[in-house]
């Protein structure tokens, strides 16, 4: 017995000490794993997932493909790559297709053999290949190739100029643009780039172009008999954002055929494998708050039946945080085609739900909490894989068995980090606004320092998005510095029904302001809040909201407005979405040249003379979603008015700096913002 006790004590004292728990640091981003996509194999035995990590020395992201064994919840790095993603399984589950971008080369499709772990290159297309979608029989793969218009010859007579031009000088870099939507945030100019559908044999031979021309295609799927491809495309110029049509084309190529619809915006959702019919979303483009209807139809548009009326619910995942860019819609038909599995927004969460394809009714598959995205089904419809995150857990892969299984976590890619990190747990609360709506909010308590603490109000972007139950590294960073964080879903947010979202449309600043002020009125009742040390911040629409707030109250001691909008006229007509129906649009707000229209009365710039709050404005120089003139104008006028303001410009970044920017810039941004807040609020 004495020997046993001695051995036990020796083992205890020899065991390594538990890692010290500490507040979240900005640099923690370098030590985290980010899951971007998960796809279950058709046999339901494996899930492939794309894992990203920051590469500090190269100041970029490395991405590889993890292969997860569902039965044993074990994970291997299958592709051992640094530029791998864009996943699709072969129907027999033997192969995983992915896209890799070799150094200094175009992206190409590769194949991973599950049994042997061997990797072979499938495509070798001059302009690169992406978006692999295998046919149901596994014989072919549809994919995308982006054609770029050649540069025109330089408009100069080099003989008269008296010198011999270089190869580059012979071509002009001057752009002549005759269409809207000619650029896109993060992609730059896109008017001269045309994504087209190609098909290749599964073994890597016979690559052939299926569509061509000026107009591009996307969101393609195979028909049940593998003879036809269904896809989205817009084959005409428009002054509206959102129009879209559905087309079909033979898998061998040929003339494309347009599906008829009485709506201008139509989007492929699911293609039936039993009846060779289509489920699609259909809607208008004049109402920025509208939720599309869902319909059944034949490929030509005949036999249409609408089973979900417009404005019924938000299909997809609209939660905002800083661990990824967008979650988006996911799902598929169950084999009996009486129901589908989809993700949908609820109040402060996005979960997986059953959609009844006859009645349009929804019912929960996974609990009504957290953020579920990137979902896919096994071919027998008995298992769903998805990525899930909540307030205190970054994204991991989960599965749930149908019909009545409980979600099961398969990966724990950040467990080592989480054991070392001190995290704050947001506390939900609600307030009532004057319109009778219930406004959802959260109070995230500070983790360091003595109460009462300085408190930050953070307002989300969009505005047709929402804050909610997902991991937000920046919020945890603020809590670790000694700040309480208050965040909410004011009018305009997704997940609370159409009427709640539409209530912002013609009250772009006032409705939001009333709601966030009511939220803060409730928050400052807490003993842990120092009401004399309040800050306000937000990005994109949240930046607009921050400017609106400080121009309508002196309640906040300081502010940070990121990628903000101060002038709705110049924003709507200068951003990458510039159009007749951008933001609220001509349809909702009148003509922007009318000085009495909502474009002007709802622009914060009209109230800048009322601002007394020291403000930092932060903008990325390649941002085309909220153009930099929005920030520069505010900065200039604040300086002229003699107010305290600092302008921070981040080079070579776009609108998504906080989510997908270069690693060093993302971390620097957090420190720059913290230094500003600290100097006024002294946590």
Q: In this predicted model, what pLDDT tens digit does every residue of 255-274 receive, in sequence order?
A: 999 999 999 999 999 999 99
Q: How confident is the model over 320-349, as pLDDT tens digits?
A: 999 998 778 999 999 999 999 999 999 999
112 inside domain: yes
- Write the CATH number for 505: 3.40.50.1820
Position 325 scores a pLDDT of 83
Q: Which H or E element spans position 294?
A: strand 293-297
Same domain, yes or no: 136 and 161: no
The token duo for 464 is: 């047709």
What integer is the mean pLDDT of 673-683?
98
Q: How far apart are CA 606 and CA 601, in angstroms?
A: 7
Same domain, yes or no: 531 and 429: yes
pLDDT band at 405 (very low <50, low <70, confident <90, very high): confident
Length of the chain equals: 683
Q: How confident is the model over 133-157, as pLDDT tens digits?
A: 999 999 999 999 999 999 999 999 9
Position 276 scores a pLDDT of 87
Closest CA to 93 of 113, 79, 75, 118: 113
490 inside domain: yes
Query: Which contacts of 595-603 are long-range, i.e. CB under 8 A and separated by 24 or more positions?
Result: 598/506, 598/508, 598/568, 599/568, 599/569, 599/572, 600/568, 600/569, 602/507, 602/508, 602/509, 602/568, 603/566, 603/567, 603/568, 603/569
What integer is the mean pLDDT of 626-634?
96
pLDDT band at 19 (very low <50, low <70, confident <90, very high): low
pLDDT band at 358 (very low <50, low <70, confident <90, very high): very high
Which residues, at least 6 apart from 84, have a Cβ–Cβ distance to it below 8 Å?
Answer: 50, 63, 64, 65, 98, 99, 100, 110
Strands ordered across the beta sheet of 34-40: 34-40, 46-55, 60-69, 74-77
CA–chain centroid gap for 419, Å, is 28
CB 673 within 8 Å of CB 560:
yes
Same domain, yes or no: 437 and 548: yes
Give the DSSP letter string of 526-541: STTEEEEEEEEEEETH
Same domain, yes or no: 614 and 651: yes
170 inside domain: yes
Which stretches within 15-48 are classed as H helix? none
Position 676 scores a pLDDT of 98
Give the domain-ending residue among 132, 159, 188.
Answer: 188
Position 232 scores a pLDDT of 98
Q: What percentage of the chain exceeds 70 in pLDDT?
A: 97
Helix (H, G, I), strand (E, B) or coil at 618: strand
Which residues, at least 6 apart from 160, have a Cβ–Cβ distance to it below 8 Å?
Answer: none
Q: What is the mean pLDDT of the chain?
A: 95
453 inside domain: yes
Q: How confident is the model over 558-607, as pLDDT tens digits?
A: 999 999 999 999 999 999 999 999 998 999 999 999 999 999 999 999 99
Same domain, yes or no: 38 and 51: yes
For the cut 70, the answer to whether the pLDDT of residue 2 exceeds it is no
CB 603 within 8 Å of CB 596:
no
Q: How confident is the model over 539-566, as pLDDT tens digits?
A: 999 999 999 999 999 999 999 999 999 9
What integer is the mean pLDDT of 71-98?
98
What integer is the mean pLDDT of 50-57?
98
What integer is the mean pLDDT of 639-643?
98
Specify the number of domains making up the chain. Answer: 3
414 inside domain: no
Point out which residues pair with 231 in neighbouring strands: 247
Helix-then-strand count for the chain, H and E: 13, 40
pLDDT band at 239 (very low <50, low <70, confident <90, very high): very high
Same domain, yes or no: 107 and 204: yes
pLDDT band at 8 (very low <50, low <70, confident <90, very high): very low
Q: Which H or E element spans position 415?
A: helix 415-420
Same domain, yes or no: 172 and 200: no
Position 347 scores a pLDDT of 98
Position 13 scores a pLDDT of 33
What integer is the mean pLDDT of 195-214?
97
24 inside domain: no
Same domain, yes or no: 457 and 557: yes
Same domain, yes or no: 116 and 204: yes
374 inside domain: no
- Angle of CA points 379, 69, 399, to nearest 5°: 55
Position 11 scores a pLDDT of 37
CB 523 within 8 Å of CB 517:
no
Same domain, yes or no: 40 and 175: no
Point out which residues pair with 82 in neighbouring strands: none
Position 188 scores a pLDDT of 94
CB 374 within 8 Å of CB 316:
no
261 inside domain: no
Q: How far apart are CA 340 and CA 323, in angstroms?
A: 28
Task: State the residue range of the domain holding 647.
Answer: 422-567+603-681
Q: How confident is the model over 420-440, as pLDDT tens digits?
A: 999 999 999 999 999 999 999
Position 20 scores a pLDDT of 77
Q: What percentage of the chain exceeds 90 in pLDDT?
A: 95
Same domain, yes or no: 171 and 43: no
Same domain, yes or no: 536 and 518: yes
Point out which residues pair with 134 in neighbouring strands: 141
């Amino acid at each position: 017995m004495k020997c046993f006790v001695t051995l036990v004590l020796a083992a205890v004292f020899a065991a390594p000490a538990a890692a010290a728990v500490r507040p979240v640091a900005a640099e923690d981003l370098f030590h985290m794993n980010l899951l971007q996509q998960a796809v279950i194999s058709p046999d339901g035995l494996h899930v492939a997932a794309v894992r990203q990590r920051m590469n500090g020395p190269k100041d970029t992201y490395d991405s590889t493909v993890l292969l997860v064994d569902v039965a044993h919840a074990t994970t291997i790095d299958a592709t051992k790559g640094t530029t791998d993603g864009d996943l699709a399984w072969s129907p027999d589950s033997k192969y995983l297709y992915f896209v890799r971008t070799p150094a200094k080369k175009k992206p190409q499709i590769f194949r991973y053999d599950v049994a042997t772990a061997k990797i072979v290159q499938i495509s070798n297309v001059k302009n690169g290949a992406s978006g692999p979608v295998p046919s149901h029989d596994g014989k072919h793969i549809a994919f995308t190739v982006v054609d770029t218009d050649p540069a025109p010859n330089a408009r100069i007579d080099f003989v008269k100029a008296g010198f011999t031009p270089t190869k580059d000088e012979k071509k002009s870099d001057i752009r002549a643009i005759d269409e809207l939507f000619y650029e896109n945030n993060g992609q730059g100019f896109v008017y001269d780039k045309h994504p087209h559908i190609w098909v290749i044999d599964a073994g890597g031979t016979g690559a052939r172009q299926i569509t061509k021309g000026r107009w591009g295609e996307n969101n393609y799927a195979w028909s049940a008999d593998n003879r036809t491809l269904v896809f989205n495309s817009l084959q005409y110029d428009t002054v509206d954002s959102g129009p879209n049509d559905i087309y079909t084309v033979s898998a061998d190529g040929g003339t494309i055929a347009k599906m008829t619809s009485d709506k201008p915006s139509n989007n492929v959702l699911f293609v039936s494998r039993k009846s060779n019919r289509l489920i699609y979303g259909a809607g208008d483009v004049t109402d920025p708050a509208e939720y599309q209807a869902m319909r059944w139809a034949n490929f030509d548009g005949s036999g249409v039946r609408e089973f979900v009326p417009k404005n019924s619910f938000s299909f997809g995942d609209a939660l905002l945080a800083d661990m990824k860019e967008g979650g988006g819609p996911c799902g598929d038909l169950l084999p009996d085609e009486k129901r589908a599995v989809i993700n949908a927004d609820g109040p402060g969460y996005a979960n997986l739900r059953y959609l009844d394809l006859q009645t349009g009714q929804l019912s929960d598959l996974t609990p009504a909490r957290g953020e579920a995205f990137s979902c896919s089904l096994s071919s027998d419809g008995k298992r769903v894989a998805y990525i899930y995150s909540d307030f205190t857990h970054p994204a991991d892969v989960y599965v749930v068995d149908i019909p009545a299984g409980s979600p099961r976590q398969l990966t724990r890619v950040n467990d080592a980090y989480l054991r070392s990190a001190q995290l704050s747990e947001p506390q939900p609360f609600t307030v009532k606004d004057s319109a009778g709506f219930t406004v959802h909010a959260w109070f995230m308590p500070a983790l360091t320092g003595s109460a009462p603490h300085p408190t930050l109000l953070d307002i989300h972007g969009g505005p047709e998005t929402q804050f909610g139950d997902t991991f937000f590294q920046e919020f945890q960073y603020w809590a670790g510095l000694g700040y309480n964080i208050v965040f909410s879903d004011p009018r305009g947010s997704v997940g609370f029904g159409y009427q709640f979202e539409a209530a912002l449309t013609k009250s772009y600043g006032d409705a939001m302001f009333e709601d966030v002020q009511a939220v803060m009125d409730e928050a400052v009742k807490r003993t842990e809040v120092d009401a004399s040390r309040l800050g306000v911040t937000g990005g994109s629409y949240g930046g607009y909201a921050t400017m609106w707030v400080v121009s309508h109250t002196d309640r906040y001691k300081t502010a940070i407005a990121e990628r903000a909008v101060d002038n709705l006229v110049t924003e709507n007509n200068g951003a990458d979405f510039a159009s007749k129906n951008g933001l609220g649009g001509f349809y909702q707000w009148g003509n922007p040249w009318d000085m009495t229209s909502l474009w002007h009365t709802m622009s914060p710039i009209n109230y800048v003379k009322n601002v007394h709050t020291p403000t930092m404005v932060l903008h990325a120089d390649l941002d085309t979603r909220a153009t930099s003139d929005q920030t520069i104008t505010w900065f200039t006028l604040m300086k002229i008015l003699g107010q305290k303001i600092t302008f921070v410009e981040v080079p070579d970044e776009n609108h998504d700096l906080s989510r997908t920017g270069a690693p060093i810039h993302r971390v620097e941004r957090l420190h720059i913002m913290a230094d500003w807040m600290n100097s006024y609020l002294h946590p």
